[in-house]
Structure 1
Amino acid sequence: MKARVGIYSVGLETYWSQFAGFFERVQFYNKFIAEKMSKMGAEVYNFGVVDSEAKARACGEYFNAQNVDIIFLHCATYATSAAIVPVHKICKAKTILLNLQPCRHVAYETTTTGEWLAHCNACVVPEICNAFNRCGLQYEVISGLLGLPETPKISLTDENTENSPEAIRAWKEIGQWIAAAGAVRTLQNTRFGFLGNTYSGMLDMYSDFTMLTGQLGLHVEVLEMCDLKSCYDTVTDGDVRGMTDKIRDFFRITGDSPSEPLARKPSAEQLEWSAKVAAAQEKLVKKFNLGALVYYYHGAEGTEYETLQKGFIVGFSLLTAAGVPCAGEGDLKTAIAMKICDTLGVGGSFCEIVTTDYDDGTILLGHDGPFHIQIAEGKPILREMGLYHGKRGAGISVEAKVRRGDVTNLGLTQTGDGKLKLIISEGVSTDGKIMTIGNTQTPVRFPTDPDTYMETWFAEAPTHHFAMSVGKNAALFEKVAKLLDVQYIVLS
């Protein structure tokens, strides 16, 4: 979902009659910011210029009516804080102060008072910060250059700063806030299916559905295996053929594993079975309008439900690639982390620590469950497993690794006082070796040695699963945490 962004610019009403064209100049800057935010994929609600307490109240009501996720307060020139605070006492959305100067420096020899006032953006920022702090209002500040592509006629100095590093950096951060706000809106409007139960005994993964709804705003739809079975019973031969074609497009079918006797070339029967189950899984997601899904089931051996769950991994990997992240073992918290990553377009593959290569200085991260195909290094491989280790049954599994380059792990854990916490960690996926045992695995090198890294990670009391994303996303995930108002830590 798109972020709903509120934007307004501030100024001192007295200035407009004192300096001809100044109000229109502020409007020009305001419109430029709003249009650029729209091009970043946001739904922008621009109130315009606020220069009095009455307009501030009207602005706050306007933003409430538009249900904005975030407010950008453009510090266009000096303004009194009394003409700003009411906006944010009325509308409680997260506020970002934009301290964006139009020029690199004023034209010292020719600058007038009106010209200077158009470039004194930072003058008002301390007053706003002080007033916000004393009024219990949270805020962030972005400083830099406005980034205009051309100089307005009224200006006495060069305002073409579009390619200046200070403008590029500021707009990158603005873009991150907009993306984070969109991810939070999506999360709060996502229906998470919970199929089956949590793997028995995994105390780190147990969570209170009400607590998750209360802290994140999402919805958990509790599903039964009979819901999936009813969808399975409607699968047609055409559905199976279509899903089989999709499987062959997304995956590589190879021979037996050279090392693991349990990992063999998938048989035609198993491929057809996985395709039929995948078609049922797709129908289940559509029937319940799910944006993510958590699953785990173990039933009495030989029952129809126990047989059905043997075909889960392929279909849930396809759904994950299609924007419906699926987490195994009933791990709802990691599914949430995966959904955040996926909404931001950076993947989010289900992982845990597998083993360490001390000679290579890397930690192998992965799982035996669904994989985010969109961030794979090459085509993922399908292998027919003689058994699912630690679980009941056997079936087709995915062998793959995340593509080489920067990665960021995002873990969602729960503290002893029942509060959620994001754990964020950047590293680099390497071209190191992986095992050919039908599991997903990615060798990752972190800024510190493996032992130091693991001890630092463990000290934050994580769950044993997390989501792996591609790119350097710590700053982005940090903004998501702030918008969700949950605890977070970035490991260095």
Structure 2
Amino acid sequence: MSIFSPIKQAKRARVGIYSIGLKAYWNQFSGLKERLVEYGRFIETRMSEFAEVYNYGLVDEESEGKKAGEWFNEKNVDIIFCHAATYSTSSTVLPVHLICKAPLVVLNLQPTDRINYEQTTTGEWLAYCCACPVPEISNALNRSGIEFRVINGLLGLNNTPAISLTNETTSERKEASRAWKQIEEWTRAASVPRTLRHSRFGFLGNTYSGMLDMYSDFTMLQAQTGIHIEVLEMCDLDRLLKEVTPRDVREKLEEVHKMFKISGDSSSDPIAKRPTEEQLSWSCKVAAAQEKLVREYNLDALTYYYHGAPGSDYEKLQGGFIVGHSLLTASGIPCSGEGDLKTAVAMKICDILGTGGSFSEIVVVDYEDETILLGHDGPFHIAISDGKPLLRGMGLYHGKQGTGVSVEAKVKTGPVTTLNVTQTEDGKLKFIISEGESTNGPIMRIGNTQTPVKFRLHPDEYMEKWFMEAPTHHCAMSIGHNASLFQKVGQLMNIRQVTL
């Protein structure tokens, strides 16, 4: 969690759910219909922890399936879960998804881990035969060209209904935990395309000249992700800078002290010094203008780069960028440097999912520890920091013009996942996903964010595989092992993904 309230909240996914059955059963087996409906309500309640849920209820014949499809369209759902509550003909299910094209997940969640073989009646068995219709449904969907996924496992009830002849308390079983982890990931993943479709990304300045991997077609990005890209000028920021008051600067300085430690001089690098009062004040003034820019243009993320003519006002302005963009990133507005719009998308995906998303690239390999140091001289995401980041005054920004204040930080030790958004020769976006472990190894004291990461392969093997996927040279670093989650985002957005 961030120490700051988000400027804009991510949107929760709109999730549709319906349960299926065979209408002929209801008059034959007393209480079965009501029992299955309650199972559906249990699923609805649990899903509501991480999504807006729209439960149509029971679909038990073809005509009801058509009504459900129209209803889900009216609710504008992002994903639909078909709860296979008991046997149902596939003709009941198919109309739902011919009408509503939202991605589909079939839930085969058995309420009990074992039936009571001695006492079970036909009516009791029918409450547990969830898997029975799934092959038939799968066949019908496949022949209709409708993609789907299936989650198998236990329902995970916390108590046993009075009608049951066996134990249905399965919440602690691994089969229930595994199933609900998948359900939660699908619902969280569905929040990403919904949020992106309503997002405005600022593009301030230009892409760093010559970085060919980062150039992108704005129309292509909007077509594949749904984001609107607002092209901004330095004069827009400069205009807002002139509106910043001394009180605005003081408030930003308070935020800075809340989020950062102020460093002394680096013991090793002569260009990394304790920030001067003038540098801090200027960074806070620029930070106030940056927040005004985000609010005026209603931005959800920002990418930027501007070198400015030597000694110009704009060169001085961009020299104060890093602190303010770190504050914005901490407030749910991810900011990527060097005009890398694709990595801004990766960072926003991580942020929507609550996993961080800090701007990173390869720094150096440590062959003794078999780690790869990842980091950058740009903004850092406080939500994944190992303690308070340091602010260092920089006598120069390497490879760039100007001087200012930079962030030196390290991601907390433990599982991490990098998400790289790149572009293939056919113009399509691609996710490159890598899981590893952030270690407690040493970092340099040069005013950059750096984290030693041990991937599953030796650094040379890992880099060989990674480079052959033709990545954008930046990536977003998130905390936790999130490959399964990022893969689901890619599937929902029809973006190819590869996991290393």
What band does the TM-score fall into relative to the shorter chain? over 0.9
Cross-structure match for 1:220 = 229
Cross-structure match for 2:271 = 262
What code does the residue aligned with 2:16 have?
G
Q: 1:33-74 CA deviation, whole Å, 9 max, x = no partner?
A: 111111x22111000000111110110011000100010100
For the pair 1:475 / 2:465, whether they are aligned, the reply is no
Shift of residue 187, structure 1, vs aligned partner: 1.7
SS in 2 for 1:204: helix
Cross-structure match for 1:29 = 39
SS in 1 for 2:24: helix
Cross-structure match for 2:117 = 108
Task: Map 1:278-317 to 2 at 5 A.
Answer: 278-317=287-326
Q: 1:53-104 CA deviation, whole Å, 9 max, x = no partner?
A: 1110110011000100010100001101111101011111111100000000
For the pair 1:341 / 2:341, whether they are aligned, the reply is no
For the pair 1:421 / 2:465, whether they are aligned, the reply is no
Cross-structure match for 2:330 = 321
What code does the residue aligned with 2:69 have?
G
* Gaps in structure 1 of 5+ consecutive residues: none
Shift of residue 210, structure 1, vs aligned partner: 0.3
What code does the residue aligned with 1:415 have?
T
For the pair 1:125 / 2:134, whether they are aligned, the reply is yes
Shift of residue 151, structure 1, vs aligned partner: 1.1
Task: Map 1:8-407 to 2 at 5 A.
Answer: 8-38=18-48, 40-407=49-416
SS in 2 for 1:336: helix
What code does the residue aligned with 2:367 have?
Y
Cross-structure match for 1:460 = 469
SS in 1 for 2:55: strand
SS in 1 for 2:445: coil
1:439 to 424, 443, 448: 448
Cross-structure match for 2:5 = none
* Gaps in structure 2 of 5+ consecutive residues: 1-10
What code does the residue aligned with 1:300 have?
A
Shift of residue 183, structure 1, vs aligned partner: 2.1
Query: TM-score, normalised on structure 2?
Result: 0.97
Cross-structure match for 1:4 = 14
CA distance in 1, matches of 2:202, 2:15: 29
CA distance in 1, matches of 2:80, 2:341: 30
Q: 1:262-317 CA deviation, whole Å, 9 max, x = no partner?
A: 00000000000000000000000000010100000022112211211000000000
Q: 1:159-215 CA deviation, whole Å, 9 max, x = no partner?
A: 111111111111111011111111221122110000001011111000000001101
What code does the residue aligned with 1:52 have?
E
What code does the residue aligned with 1:130 have?
N
CA distance in 2, matches of 1:156, 1:464: 59
CA distance in 2, matches of 1:25, 1:80: 19
Give yes or no for contact 2:20–2:86 (8 Å, CA) kept in 1.
yes
Cross-structure match for 2:498 = 489
Aligned structure 1 segments of 4 or more residues deviating by more than 3 angstroms: none
Give yes or no for contact 2:26–2:33 (8 Å, CA) kept in 1.
yes
Q: What is the aligned residue count?
A: 490
Query: TM-score, normalised on structure 1?
Result: 0.99
SS in 2 for 1:13: coil
CA distance in 2, matches of 1:307, 1:448: 43
Q: 1:355-397 CA deviation, whole Å, 9 max, x = no partner?
A: 0000111000000111111111111001111111111111100
Give yes or no for contact 2:13–2:194 (8 Å, CA) kept in 1.
yes
Give yes or no for contact 2:193–2:226 (8 Å, CA) kept in 1.
no
Cross-structure match for 2:421 = 412
CA distance in 1, matches of 2:183, 2:384: 25
CA distance in 1, matches of 2:243, 2:303: 22
Give yes or no for contact 2:50–2:184 (8 Å, CA) kept in 1.
no
CA distance in 2, matches of 1:310, 1:95: 48
What code does the residue aligned with 2:47 have?
M
Shift of residue 488, structure 1, vs aligned partner: 0.2
CA distance in 2, matches of 1:140, 1:231: 49
What code does the residue aligned with 1:32 have?
F
% identity of equivalent residues: 64
SS in 2 for 1:123: coil
CA distance in 1, matches of 2:144, 2:459: 45
CA RMSD of aligned residues (A): 0.7
